[in-house]
Amino acid sequence: MPRKKPVSIQQLAQDYLGYDDLRPGQEAAIASVLEHRDTLAVMPTGSGKSAIYQLTAARIPGSTIVVSPLLALQKDQVESIVAEVGHAAVVNSTISASNRAEVFDRWSNGEIEFLFLAPEQFNNADTIEHLQAASPSLFVIDEAHCISEWGHSFRPDYLRLGTVIEALGHPTTLALTATASPPVREEIMQRLGMNNPRIIVRGFDRPNLRLAVENYDDEAEKREIFIKRIQQLTKPGIVYVATRKATESLAEALNEAGINAIAYHAGLKTKEREQAQNAFMSDEAEVIVATTAFGMGVDKSNVRFVVHYNISDSIDSYYQEIGRAGRDGDPANIILFYTPDDLNLRKFFSGSGKLEKEKVIELAELVRQQSEPIHPKALKSLTDLSGTKIKTTLSHLELLGVVEALPTGEVFAKPDAPEIEQAAEEVLHAQERKIKVERSRLEMMRNYAEVLDCRRKYLLNYFGDPREELCGYCDNCNSGTANQQDDGRKPYQLNSRVAHKSWGEGTVMRYEGDKIVILFDEVGYKTISLEAALLRGLLQKVA
């Protein structure tokens, strides 16, 4: 007898949004949330993640909170919902006190189905009380990778969302992100306190993206060919670079070559960034040359290429950035200009900003000395640590049971806390593990740049969507080198657990010719000779 739930979800999509069909992963995620399961949905940009909570909310009684990090993105989402399915409002730093009060009155009276907030709003002591008044049934975290310390999109204010969820009685939680490898997924679920969550990873196969890597050892040659390549490519397009200085230098060079290009980076004034983004979105500028500060929440369907002048810090970042191309389904070119020296710059970035043991102890002692809960902003005036470091350190200390956080962000010392010096050692251990994993993820990015196998297969395997077939349209498939890579020896099953004498336990991620890639719990990704693993017994299967 046929199952009724998928049919009813499809009908829901037709009735509310006019969708004839749901995309891969949407239906599974909706079904999971309708069963009141905490759910982590990892689906690429443009795959319709917002439709998941819109359609779910239509079936679940009660109101929905959506945490979204960007003001512009909140505005777009609210306008879309108001036009399509129901009552929505936003509370952020741009609205007046009177409008804020009006929104919360309507919220408590049940007049608002969707309430959008930036994570910073939970700093306001009255926000939690207002949210509790309507007993929300669904708590949505958009751009959930912002909770992870592994990436450039990290937002410290996301770290306390788990505490907020508990303060609201743990409504069904839905975390949405466009990119999350296994370490990031684990951190999202842990930080949010998700209960027996269902993980849905779908839709990473983007056949319209033409993947290619061009290798250069000489910077001058790389720059010269880069300009020519941008002249040849169909526009509009995005160029990603590693530094602010490079955005301006390359944008200037492209303009001199007759291309209408504009620079974008976090060092520009807010108005300048808005002008640059608007120029690109309206096709006034053909090319935007940007750091990773550009992209989150950008919805432009006709981007015909994404070029990386410098290598990304991880496959996670790279896939999210290239996902901004070809959202209309038409072919788009994805090119990485690879210079091995770029790896040194990324390694430098990954090792910067390290915490010192003395500073961790100092921060824990400051919290212990307070007679009442203290906010991280108040702590900033008592130490020379940055706001980001304070929030990150406090989050680690909370996980270790040294401090406890309130939903509004204030922290206080736990009376039965472990010894501070020992806890500080644990924080440093976690930091060292983070650096090791970050550098191993950079190594996976290097492997992507140098792999002779199918690039599409490499990316899909990385995100837990194993594929054996060749795509037929990346540069390695077109040149024929991908056909020569598979020797058929696969003694360890993909996603199975293995143990290494020195590196501990890990998960088999992929085969790469005569090598095997393992994601180890403590040291991150390692690429091992398959022959050595077998002959020397380096890897043992874990039951």
pLDDT category of residue 5 using cuts at 50, 70 and 90: very low
The per-residue pLDDT for 74 is 63
State whether residue 136 is helix, strand or coil.
Answer: coil
Report the distance separating Cα 159 and Cα 140, nearest Å. Answer: 15
DSSP secondary structure letter of residue 310: S
**Which residues of the chain are in CATH 3.40.50.300 domains?**
5-201, 209-349
Give the span between the Cα atoms of 350 and 150, in whole angstroms: 9
pLDDT per residue over 79-107, tens digit each?
A: 666 655 568 888 877 778 888 888 888 88
Give me the residue label for tokens 């008592």: 382
Assess whether the previous peptide bond of 466 is cis (omega < 30° from 0): no
Where does the chain hold its CATH 1.10.10.10 domain(s)?
A: 357-431
Structure tokens at 438: 């970050």
Please state, as a whole number, how many other Cβ atoms lie within 10 Å of the Cβ of residue 98: 8
pLDDT tens digit sequence for 430-481: 878 877 877 888 888 988 998 888 999 999 888 877 777 899 999 999 998 8
pTM equals 0.77
Whether the predicted pLDDT of 351 surpasses 60: no
Strand stretches in 249-346, DSSP E: 261-264, 287-290, 305-308, 332-338
- Which tokens hold the place of 76? 């777009």
Tell me the C-alpha distance between 386 and 396, whole Å: 16
Q: For position 464, what pLDDT does the model report? A: 73
Residues of the chain with CATH 2.30.30.140: 487-543
Q: Which CATH architecture has domain 357-431?
A: Orthogonal Bundle (1.10)
Read off the pLDDT of residues 484-507 as tens digits, 9 standing for 90 and up. Answer: 766 567 888 877 889 988 888 988
Q: Please check whether residue 107 is in contact with residue 89, taking contact to mean a CB–CB distance below 8 angstroms.
A: yes
Q: Which residues of 500-528 are buried (b: 16+ CB within 10 A; e: fewer)?
A: beebeebbbbbbbeebbbbbbbebbbbbb
Whether residue 322 contacts residue 209, with contact meaning beta carbons closer than 8 Å, is answered with yes
pLDDT tens figures, 242-295 = 999 999 999 999 999 999 999 999 899 989 998 999 999 999 999 999 998 887
Q: What is the CATH number of domain 5-201?
A: 3.40.50.300
- pLDDT above 90 (res 407): no
The domain made up of 487-543 has a fold known as SH3 type barrels. (2.30.30)
Per-residue tokens: 441: 């993820």
Alpha carbon 93 to chain centroid distance? Answer: 24
Helix 26-34 vs helix 5-17: angle between axes, to the nearest 10 degrees? 110
- The CATH code of the domain at 209-349 is 3.40.50.300
Count how many Cα atoms sit within 13 Å of the Cα of residue 49 in the half-sphere of its side chain. 28
171 vs 169: CA distance, rounded Å: 6
Residue owning tokens 């969302």: 161
Q: Is residue 239 within 8 Å of 289, Cβ to Cβ? A: yes
Determine how many CB atoms are found less than 10 A away from the CB of residue 431: 20
